[in-house]
Structure 1
Amino acid sequence: MTSPNPAAKRSLRERFDGERILLGLAAPVLAVLLSAVICGVLLAISGKNPFDAFQVMWDYGTASDGQVLTLNRTTTYYIAGCAAAFGFRMNLFNIGVDGQYKLGALFAAYVGSQVDLPAVLQIPLLLVTAMLIGGMWASIAGLLKVYRGVSEVISTIMLNAIATAVVGLLLVPGIFAPGNGGGSSNAIQTAPISQSSHFFAIPTAGGDLYGFLFIAIVIGVAFQFTLSRTKFGFDLRATGRSETAAKASGVNVKRMVITSMVVSGAIAGLIGLPELMQHSYYFGQSIQPGLGFIGISVALLGRNTPIGIAFSALLFAFLDVAGTRLPLRGDFPQEIVAVMQGTIVICVVVAYELVRRYGLKRQQQKVGAELAAQAAAAAKKEVSA
């Protein structure tokens, strides 16, 4: 029987290094704990018992209806996090996710209200429509960066404002909103999408669980597979770490920038569809604002990895859902949830830097110990000789 390859054993050991896993988990856990402490102090200063507030959130968040609402919102937040993270892995800051998902949801809602195909065709049509619109809108920032050197941060922020104006321009009677027969009322929503556009739901004791959860899972699996198992994913990670080194190795950096922005925008286009196809069935005031910026926070906390984003999205969704009970039970301020989410984002930056420095120090200690051991072994061999 042949002995295992030492190189393979070393590679396996490095892949499942317990210390590296703990260091990877330390930063987000530390950020959440720091945020909880800060919010607890703020609640105490305002005259409220922080432990009672956290207990109210926990009780509702773990109840059956709270769990369903949390998972439904996690679905949306996860897609938003993946959209932002895809750009981040390329070292591109796609701040325009908010505008991309609004336009994607608006056009999908309009197509869904005008076309009524069998569900097996209608649902993919809406998904493709949203992805195409989101990708096309994001490509503007990619093209500006590649051919005019415009920072994607600036261009995507401006495109958010333009997208909001475009939505307002199109969402009027006679264009994307139903006509009012010449009346003077201003419609602020599209017509309801057709019955065949409704995505399936899973009945549970706590309510209907969004079937779109499976779409989110597919996005996460495809994201991970692309990053770790494809040439495009390797080129994306290489370009994100060093454009100069990637260009020297033959990577077309300009094409990678444009493609990454398009893919990020295409994922962003899907963010509003769980609400559209499973709850409201039209685009209007019911569409939750600010999802793009929540996605950025979720991606940062999840370290831009599909698994990390899943836990991060679950945490943010839990805080949002459970926080709705604070004013109803004990007259706690619901704003503490927004404070907690904001402090998590700030604390995670600090925590990642602390963990990075500790990890670097530990690595230096290990290298020093190995060199000392090698030197001692060489000296012992020399003496024995």
Structure 2
Amino acid sequence: MKKFDKDRLILGLAAPVLAIVAAFVLTALVLLATGKEPFHAFAVMFDKGLTSDSQVFILNKATPYYLAGIAVAIGFRMNLFNIGVDGQYRLAAFFAAVVGGAVNLPSFIQIPLIILTAMLVGAMWAGIAGVLKVTRGVSEVITTIMLNAIATAVIGYFMIPGRLAQLHADTNSVSTKELPSSGYFFGFDMGTDGTIWGFIVIAALIGVLYWFGLSRTRFGFDLRTVGQSESAAGASGVDVKRMVVTSMLLSGAIAGLVGMPELLNNGHQYSSNFPAGIGFTGIAVALLGRNHPIGIALAALLWGFLEIASNKLEFEDYDKEIVGVMQGIIVLCVVVAYEVVRRYGIKRQQQKVGEELAAQARKSKQEAAA
């Protein structure tokens, strides 16, 4: 049985906790500098976040954030920076909505068809960056950022009445054809508090598969090895180029699921109001959660909490943007806190090694004297 490493657990929790505490302290200073009372603002946020209807909102918001965090984390574990999750999920949701609106099949076929379409589109769009990296040496950061812009242009081209979208005369809005009722995903009715989107179950399943795949399979071991040292992985027989492409495909496939909660549980069509920017939130969520499925889940819930709290602050004469400031500070603090904790961890390991060597030396002297 593997020995429990208390120091590793403490160091693992230290960075995100330090980041959140520092973010609240710095946000309080910002509020004080603008003449606002910080403690009342925090009290308002927590009061709003703890209500039952807010908790439903937080869970629904956290679901796509969690999926985006997992998609980003797959790349991070490989030392790849998939900045293109935002374009991948929007393009995937668009074509999934088009396919879903074009057919009317039984639910057990309709819903998997929509989901698989989204995963396929997301994987293909991310795979472009993976192929360019291994064949031409193009940085995946540059490629995925550019692909975000191209995805926006592709969606804009097809989101014209008469192509793959339609105009609603009563609202003068443009969207894809609405999904048939067989394409509606189930939800958990919480009465007057709202409905928890059923896609949260799929998100939880993705988290379990992510944990199992990375920590309990040969593929996960190879992926983490390549992320730590490509030369060492190559020397041990791992096909580094294939792992890069495979990781980008997997990251893109998960990114394709990010828009599914909104499409299948809420809007049932793709329109100009479809949520954007979730991919970039996923980067912050993955960083805060340290690429661990449980950590990412907690970070996603925190982001959902901050969003619902910001709505209440407006009614208390606080600027709603203060939550955006807090989120930005959290990301900056995470980077700093991780580096501080990493250096402390290295120093702690060196001290342990020194203590063990000193203990062995004393033991050797005692044995020699005896």
Q: TM-score range by the shorter chain?
A: over 0.9
Structure-2 separation of matches of 1:287 and 1:18? 44
Spell out, residue by residue over 1:249-297, the C-alpha distance to the aligned partner (whole angstroms, 9 max, x if none): 1111111111110110010011011011111111113311101100011
5 Å-filtered alignment, 1:29-44, equals: 29-44=17-32
Structure-2 separation of matches of 1:287 and 1:34? 33
5 Å-filtered alignment, 1:127-138, equals: 127-138=115-126
CA contact (8 A) 1:172 1:186 kept: no
Structure-1 separation of matches of 2:52 and 2:182? 29
Q: Show the counterpart of 1:207.
A: 194
Would you say 1:241 and 2:204 are equivalent positions? no
Structure-2 separation of matches of 1:366 and 1:116? 64
Q: Show the counterpart of 1:79.
A: 67
Q: Show the counterpart of 2:302.
A: 315
Indicate the SS of the match to 1:48: coil
Indicate the SS of the match to 1:111: helix
Q: Show the counterpart of 1:3.
A: none
TM-score by length of 1: 0.93
Q: How many residues matched?
A: 368
Structure-2 separation of matches of 1:165 and 1:186? 21
| Letter matched to residue 176 of structure 1 | L
| Letter matched to residue 180 of structure 2 | S
5 Å-filtered alignment, 1:145-160, equals: 145-160=133-148
CA contact (8 A) 1:302 1:308 kept: yes
Indicate the SS of the match to 1:67: helix
Structure-2 separation of matches of 1:163 and 1:188? 18
Would you say 1:263 and 2:250 are equivalent positions? yes
CA contact (8 A) 2:79 2:228 kept: yes
Q: Show the counterpart of 1:361.
A: 347
Indicate the SS of the match to 1:191: coil
Indicate the SS of the match to 1:324: helix
| Letter matched to residue 23 of structure 1 | L
CA contact (8 A) 1:70 1:318 kept: yes
5 Å-filtered alignment, 1:230-379, equals: 230-328=217-315, 330-379=316-365
Give 1:114 shift. 1.0
| Letter matched to residue 55 of structure 1 | A
Indicate the SS of the match to 1:41: helix
Q: Show the counterpart of 1:115.
A: 103
Match for 1:60 among 42, 48, 51?
48
CA contact (8 A) 1:93 1:152 kept: yes
Structure-2 separation of matches of 1:33 and 1:286? 34
CA contact (8 A) 2:167 2:174 kept: no
Q: 1:136 to 1:311 in 2, by over 3 A?
A: same
TM-score by length of 2: 0.97
Structure-1 separation of matches of 2:181 and 2:360? 72
Name which of structure 1's ranges 68-77 and 357-366 shifts more when overlaid on structure 2. 357-366
Q: Show the counterpart of 1:4.
A: none
Spell out, residue by residue over 1:36-56, the C-alpha distance to the aligned partner (whole angstroms, 9 max, x if none): 111111111111111111111
Structure-2 separation of matches of 1:147 and 1:90? 17
Structure-1 separation of matches of 2:27 and 2:275? 25
Name which of structure 1's ranges 42-51 and 73-82 shifts more when overlaid on structure 2. 42-51
Give 1:188 shift. 2.9
| Letter matched to residue 60 of structure 1 | K
Indicate the SS of the match to 1:69: helix
Q: Show the counterpart of 2:213.
A: 226
Structure-2 separation of matches of 1:174 and 1:261? 34
Structure-1 separation of matches of 2:317 and 2:158? 41
Gaps of 5+ in 2: none
Would you say 1:101 and 2:89 are equivalent positions? yes
Spell out, residue by residue over 1:124-178, the C-alpha distance to the aligned partner (whole angstroms, 9 max, x if none): 0110000000000011101100111100000001000000000100111111112
Provide the identity percentage. Answer: 58
Q: Show the counterpart of 1:164.
A: 152
Structure-2 separation of matches of 1:53 and 1:320? 14
Give 1:179 shift. 6.1
Spell out, residue by residue over 1:172-192, the C-alpha distance to the aligned partner (whole angstroms, 9 max, x if none): 111111268xx9x98532121
| Letter matched to residue 222 of structure 2 | D
| Letter matched to residue 115 of structure 1 | V
Structure-1 separation of matches of 2:311 and 2:64? 18
CA contact (8 A) 2:166 2:174 kept: no
| Letter matched to residue 168 of structure 1 | G
Structure-2 separation of matches of 1:131 and 1:304? 21
Q: CA RMSD in A?
A: 1.4
Q: Which runs of 4+ in 1 moved over 6 A?
A: none
Indicate the SS of the match to 2:138: coil
CA contact (8 A) 1:173 1:187 kept: no
Structure-1 separation of matches of 2:275 and 2:38? 28
